[in-house]
């Protein structure tokens, strides 16, 4: 197959250009990648899902004839991936679109994959997605009370010394009447959370604030988020809550576990690792997070896929020690995570790419007319079940608001 990348006029708004069929996306602040059509697709399971994906991708790229006059990260053949949280949580999906449109630093481009080296697809016009007629929300795998009981049990085990931290998640379900167009969710999320990475891969849609890893040449970056407080909408009150978050022993302890797990994983591949000693507060529309940006220089040939594999699961979405936390999640959480809290993003033939953690997200089932939304909370010794439930409700707000009928 032939792969052709050429510069194009600025498409202005990437997500609004997506057609309804097979949309994939990774966009932040109006920049990133969108795609449609399926040139190749991989479904993979088990603990070797990252290495098997890398082998498949290397073999596929070796078979392609590439003509790329732009030569930036994300040009040429690009794959979008959404990986399962763990070995027991279903399939991971990788999609290579037939058409990719990218926009970064004032440069826009289009990549086409097909059997005709001269094919020239036209950029779709801006379109307005269909909106649902009505929706009703229902409890997910566990009721709010049952989930709080699971949190209380996790706290008991942490205080007994069985583990230091565990992340417990819950789900809620929206039942939709009328057309369920995933682009409706994407556009609403991108508009409300421009500083997050808005993504869509095989019906997993969300806007994550957490960058698991980015590789651009030898520069490696990861953003760690752990420790959360809900915003109140008043600047003075929110500033006070931010100060309290920075001084909270419970939240800083939770954050330190997450930073340590990322720094330890990256140290195996990077030199000149920069790990700030104190977090800063990241403000989003609905919540504030403790955040730390970790950077390093690649010391080996690890691709972004290999880096994602070495980092996942971090303490921010699993807990610590990892194996004990996983066991507690499987025992207490009471739901199938699937690709929630797994790596999601894109990668190119040079090993560059970006992966976020699939948070503030939902799985969309158009046939059933259902949207299943997820949220998780880090549980440590000082956690209170009622407070954790309130935090989970705040983290469910992005999908709830994006689905709201106006």
244 touches 380 (CB < 8 A): no
Helix (H, G, I), strand (E, B) or coil at 372: strand
Distances in Å between the Cα of 214 and the Cα atoms of 139, 148, 356 are 35, 35, 8
- For 158-195, write each residue's pLDDT tens digit: 999 999 999 999 999 999 887 788 898 999 999 999 99
Q: What phi and psi, each to the nearest 5 degrees, are found at residue 181? A: -105, 115
| Residues contacting residue 239 through CB under 8 Å, at least 6 positions apart | none
Q: What is the pLDDT of residues 221-252, one digit of tens each?
A: 999 988 888 888 888 888 898 899 998 998 89
Catalytic residue among 149, 165, 254, 388: 165
For residue 406, what pLDDT is reported? 61
pLDDT for the residue 393: 94
CA–CA separation, 368 vs 360, rounded Å?
A: 21
User: What is the reported pLDDT for 142?
Assistant: 95
Strand bridging mode 2-7 / 65-68: parallel
Tokens of 222: 């990861």
Average pLDDT over residues 20-28: 94
Q: How far apart are CA 369 and CA 133, in angstroms?
A: 11
Read off the pLDDT of residues 381-395 as tens digits, 9 standing for 90 and up: 999 999 999 999 999
Q: How many CA atoms lie within 13 A of 369 on its CB side?
A: 12
Q: Give the per-residue pLDDT at 123.
A: 84
String of DSSP letters for 176-234: EES---HHHHHHHHHHH-TTSEEEEETTEEEEES-EEEEEETTEEEEEEEEEEEE--S-
pLDDT tens profile 262-317: 999 999 999 999 999 999 998 888 888 999 999 999 999 999 999 999 999 998 89
Picking from 136, 144, 51, 36, the residue whose alpha carbon sits closest to that of residue 92 is 51
Catalytic residue among 210, 256, 354, 391: 210
Q: What mean pLDDT comes out for the span 335-356?
A: 97
The token pair at 399 is 């999908």
Q: What is the pLDDT at residue 251?
A: 87
Q: Please tell me the predicted confidence (pLDDT) of residue 400.
A: 93
Q: What ranges do the domains of the chain cover?
A: 2-125+133-403
Residue 102: φ, ψ to 5°: -125, 155
* CA–CA dist 329, 155 (Å, integer): 13
- 182: CB partners within 8 A, 6+ apart: 23, 129, 200, 203, 205, 364, 366
159 labelled catalytic: no
Active site residue 165: yes
How many CB atoms are located within 10 Å of the residue 87 CB? 12
Percent of the residues in the chain that have a pLDDT greater than 90, as a whole number: 76
287: which strand partners? Answer: 230
Beta-carbon contacts of residue 207 (< 8 Å; ≥ 6 apart): 189, 190, 192, 193, 196, 197, 198, 199, 360, 361, 398
How far does the chain reach from its first CA to its final CA, in angstroms?
45
Say which CATH architecture domain 2-125+133-403 belongs to. 4-Layer Sandwich (3.60)
The pTM (predicted TM-score) of the whole model is 0.93
119 membership: H or E segment, kind and range:
none
Average pLDDT of the residues of the chain: 93
């Amino acid at each position: 197959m032939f792969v052709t990348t050429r510069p194009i006029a600025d498409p202005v708004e990437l997500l609004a250009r997506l057609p309804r069929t097979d949309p994939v996306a990774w966009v932040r602040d109006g920049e990133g990648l969108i795609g449609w059509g399926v040139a190749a697709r991989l479904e993979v399971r088990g603990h070797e899902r990252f290495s098997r994906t890398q082998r498949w991708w290397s073999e596929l790229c070796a078979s392609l004839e590439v003509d790329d006059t732009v030569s930036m990260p994300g040009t040429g053949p690009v794959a979008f991936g959404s990986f399962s949280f763990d070995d027991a949580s279903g399939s991971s999906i990788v999609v290579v679109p037939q058409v990719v449109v990218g926009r970064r630093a004032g440069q826009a481009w289009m990549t086409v994959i097909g059997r005709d080296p001269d094919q020239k697809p036209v950029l779709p016009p801006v379109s307005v997605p269909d909106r649902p007629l009505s929706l009703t929300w229902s409890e997910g795998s566990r009721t709010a009370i049952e989930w709080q009981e699971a949190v209380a049990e996790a706290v008991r085990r942490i205080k007994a010394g069985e583990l230091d931290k565990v992340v417990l998640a819950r789900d809620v379900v929206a039942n939709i009447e009328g057309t369920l167009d995933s682009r409706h969710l994407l556009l609403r999320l991108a508009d409300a959370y421009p500083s997050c990475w808005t993504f869509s891969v095989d019906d997993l849609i969300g806007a994550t604030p957490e960058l698991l890893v980015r590789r651009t040449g030898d520069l490696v970056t990861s953003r760690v988020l752990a420790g959360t407080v809900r915003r109140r909408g008043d600047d003075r009150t929110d500033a006070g809550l931010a100060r309290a978050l920075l001084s909270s022993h419970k939240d800083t302890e939770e954050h330190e576990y997450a930073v340590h797990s990322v720094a330890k994983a990256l140290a195996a591949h990077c030199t000149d690792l920069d790990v700030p000693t104190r977090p800063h507060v990241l403000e989003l529309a609905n919540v504030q997070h403790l955040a730390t940006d970790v950077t390093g220089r690649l010391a080996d040939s690890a691709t972004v896929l290999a880096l994602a594999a070495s980092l996942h699961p971090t303490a921010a979405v699993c807990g610590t020690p990892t194996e004990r936390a996983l066991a507690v999640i499987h025992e207490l959480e009471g739901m199938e995570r699937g690709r929630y809290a797994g790596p999601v993003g894109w990668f190119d033939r040079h090993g560059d790419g970006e992966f976020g953690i699939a948070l503030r997200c939902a799985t969309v089932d158009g046939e059933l007319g259902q949207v299943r939304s997820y949220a998780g909370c880090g549980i440590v010794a000082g956690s209170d079940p009622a407070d954790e439930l309130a935090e989970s409700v705040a983290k469910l707000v992005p999908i709830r608001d994006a689905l709201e009928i106006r």
